[in-house]
Structure 1
């Protein structure tokens, strides 16, 4: 449906050009207003047209092994405006919901007990936190990795453009440029996975 009704938005050339323009805005080389105006006009028309002709698609609930702690029914994965979440299959009798904690395979660098999970802010921005929240309040806008900083031993995050080009230590600022060094297998796998997701 996206390819059929939003061909420009899913076009690799278009997204690549937009990324370059956003990078130029971030570096102060380009004013954001003309870029937004150039994008929004055609995009708004495309959305209006799609709203009239696109068929309504209902995304089926995804079963899980989780059990609702309030009524004992199975929990299912639903898709909401802020992303996927767990909800009781007994809705509307039971309205219990929980965030869907998507683990990224990294131990929490703050408490060492929980695991780092991917979350979404209310504005839809991805961030990372500890699965033990609120007992542990670790949070990061950049994706933590299992590798430790060779300078201070602190945790490192994927940084740079699309969080793929640099490993950076938030504690001491040490950086490792992935383009100039052989990335560990775990990092290479993450980069390949996110590049594939970007092409999908």
Structure 2
């Protein structure tokens, strides 16, 4: 896995964590907590499931530095420029795409089966946002019907990556194609309001 690729994923997720604090009356410390939890939460759960010790950000604290610096810059920018609500969804979409593929790659590196790699890829992509939303006392985005293809997009991209890794191992563009599938599917779903059927009980 590329060092810069993983740090870019951390930075993007940290931005979404800061933007999630909008109108929440959260101070700088609270913003940093949201940013760091969003940036490393999913990867932490993935590493614990894989039995990786220490987890990635303990082994390499530069991930925390990247998340913190990104959060500080975003915090300052947001104080002087109004950031639209869709900025959170777009930042979250990029973070979802990047971290899902990072999770699949690492799972395969540790000899996980294709199914487990897909599951842990999705966990890596969505769990940080789930923890962020729990801290905000909100139903996590991944559980909302109106969030439009969140875990669904991550699952599709993770599946494509695993299939390419298994049936076309010599192909070098699997990471980029899989990430693009997640990003395009997620952004298209936001724009066109695609969603899975909502659970309802007849009564």
- Work out whether the TM-score is over 0.5: no
Q: Tell me: higher relative CO, structure 1 or 2? Use CA pairs within 8 A at least 6 residues apart.
A: 2
Larger radius of gyration: 1
Q: Greater strand share, 1 or 2?
A: 1
TM-score of the superposed pair, with normalisation by structure 2: 0.27
Relative to the length of structure 1, the TM-score reads: 0.27
Higher helix share: 2
